[in-house]
Structure 1
Amino acid sequence: MEAAAKPDQGLPAPVHVAIIMDGNGRWAKARGLPRTAGHKKGAESVRRAVETARELGVSYLTLYAFSSENWKRPVGEVTDLMGLLRLYLRNEVNSLHKNGIRLRIIGDRSKLSADIVTLIEESEAKTRDNNALTLVLALSYGGRQEIVEAARAVARQVAEGRISVDAIDETTLAGNLFTADIPDPDLVIRTSGEQRISNFLLWQCAYSELVFLDVLWPDFSRSDFEAAIRDYHGRDRRFGAANG
């Protein structure tokens, strides 16, 4: 059988790729290192994935950086993760901006510290007009929570008389999600070998292709990214329609 072409050798990149970055803790444990070391190494993979997405022509890259459930982790680990987030927002945004990358943050900002919210707002404002790639970081994010918040927003619109109950449809709800102006993911990748989506983009992933990789996130490479896209191109995307 002829080897599949690389995405950069003729196959178009998916418009939107979303990644569940899993395995930092296991990577560190396997090396006898603290979990923080895994998170720091994982941050390097974030940079590599962003560069790869831009080079391959992906328009949107969404990374599951910190879930709503992650707040339940030990205080010390959460503190370390928030510290890494601060460093990323302070040190990487200039590079993102230089490379024409727009940064978007989705999730519940009310649980984030005030200085992080300020950094987020400044980073989004600085990169707002960039169009080489939109990098979406899901922070303090949960898919069920997002849908609940969207339902509340629609309920308020009904209560205020702006729309009728009968006018509510999928487009109405989708328009009140964090991702209202972002296309649904074509491809969702999860690293570490786990095969679940863990409350990530539940509404948006209705027809996404799912690729599960055994590689731990700190080891996620350009070749892994390309392999996932080749897998994606081998799928028959029918969106519920019958063959033929």
Structure 2
Amino acid sequence: MTRFPDSARPEHVAIIMDGNGRWAKGRGLRRILGHRKGVEAVRRTVDAAAESGIGYLTMFAFSSENWKRPEDEVNDIMDMIALFIQRELENYHRKNMRFRMIGERSGLGPKVLNALESAEVRTRDNTGLTVIVAVNYGARAEIARAAAALARDAAAGLIAPDEIDEAMLSGRLDTAGIPDPDLIIRTSGEQRLSNFLMWQGAYSELVFLPCLWPDFSRDIFFEALDEYARRSRRFGGLLEEPSVLTGS
């Protein structure tokens, strides 16, 4: 059962899952233990998203800038992503969820790439919640790839340069066919997008939360949806004002 009417419920929620390392450091633990605890928050969030009735959930699992981290930490994160997908795939498939990956695939190792692509194939005909996992993802690189693809088509005479518009570029992004996020949530108190869905998030509502990602819960997720429901989205326009003469 959903708790929000369609008019107040976002169709697509995206989350920057931040704070695993700080969660671990604050407890005197190794950073990897924070990432492992963060996996539990992912599980809670996917379940809450399905319960809420939204159509799409995008989770920023690993950015293209995260390769700068220590090699052992990167390897552990990749192993955890692959293991999570492998363990949860059949459960989420039975729940009619669909998986999709965005990001640069060519930079990923075979273990995590095979897990993600297998999940895409296994669930491609499902019609419930779509879970989008952003791995090796950076918005600037995504936009550059889309622009390069359009440039190649223009050079080949398949399209005229003057025909290129926003819709055409959107159709070449990793998120082609996915609605733009209505709501972007970031944990850990940081207040920036960090190269995440910069094109798609042009008109997203932003909710920045002080909690660290491992502490993210079902209740916090629904509180963010409550905050979204209180917002007025104008997309550059004006809200209609009641008529002074008619009182309507």
- Structure 2-normalised TM-score? 0.93
Q: Are 2:76 and 1:45 equivalent residues in the alignment?
A: no
Paired residue for 1:209? 205
Q: What's the offset of the Cα at 1:89?
A: 2.0
2:175 alignment partner, SS class: coil
Q: Are 2:190 and 1:155 equivalent residues in the alignment?
A: no
Paired residue for 2:134? 138
Post-superposition Cα deviations, 1:74-130, rounded to whole Å, max 9, x if no partner, equal: 111001101101211211111110111100000011111123222222111000011
Taking the TM superposition and a 5 Å limit, the aligned residue runs for 1:27-176 are 27-176=23-172
Q: What's the offset of the Cα at 1:48?
A: 0.4
1:139 alignment partner, SS class: strand
1:152–1:223: structure 2 CA closer, same or farther, 3 Å change rule?
Answer: same
Post-superposition Cα deviations, 1:144-182, rounded to whole Å, max 9, x if no partner, equal: 000000000000110111110110100010000000100
Paired residue for 2:246? none
1:28 alignment partner, SS class: helix
Q: Which amino acid aligns with 2:210?
A: D
CA distance in 2 between partners of 1:48 and 1:89 (Å): 14
CA distance in 2 between partners of 1:225 and 1:114 (Å): 33
Larger Rg over CA atoms? 2
Alignment check: 8 A CA contact 2:49 2:57 kept: yes
2:3 alignment partner, SS class: helix
4+ residue segments displaced more than 3 Å: 9-12
CA distance in 2 between partners of 1:130 and 1:49 (Å): 19
Where does structure 2 lack aligned partners over 5 or more consecutive residues? 241-248
| Percent of aligned pairs sharing the same letter | 55
Paired residue for 1:3? none
1:25 alignment partner, SS class: helix
Taking the TM superposition and a 5 Å limit, the aligned residue runs for 1:174-213 are 174-213=170-209
How many residue pairs get matched?
A: 238
CA distance in 1 between partners of 2:17 and 2:68 (Å): 18
Where does structure 1 lack aligned partners over 5 or more consecutive residues? 1-6
Q: What's the offset of the Cα at 1:59?
A: 0.3
**Over aligned residues, Cα RMSD in angstroms?**
1.1
Post-superposition Cα deviations, 1:10-44, rounded to whole Å, max 9, x if no partner, equal: 46421000000001001101111101110000000
Q: What's the offset of the Cα at 1:9?
A: 5.4
Question: Which stretch has the larger CA shift, 161-170 or 108-117?
Answer: 108-117
CA distance in 2 between partners of 1:243 and 1:134 (Å): 31
1:205 alignment partner, SS class: coil
Q: Which amino acid aligns with 2:118?
A: E
CA distance in 2 between partners of 1:10 and 1:16 (Å): 15
Post-superposition Cα deviations, 1:207-230, rounded to whole Å, max 9, x if no partner, equal: 000000001110001111111111
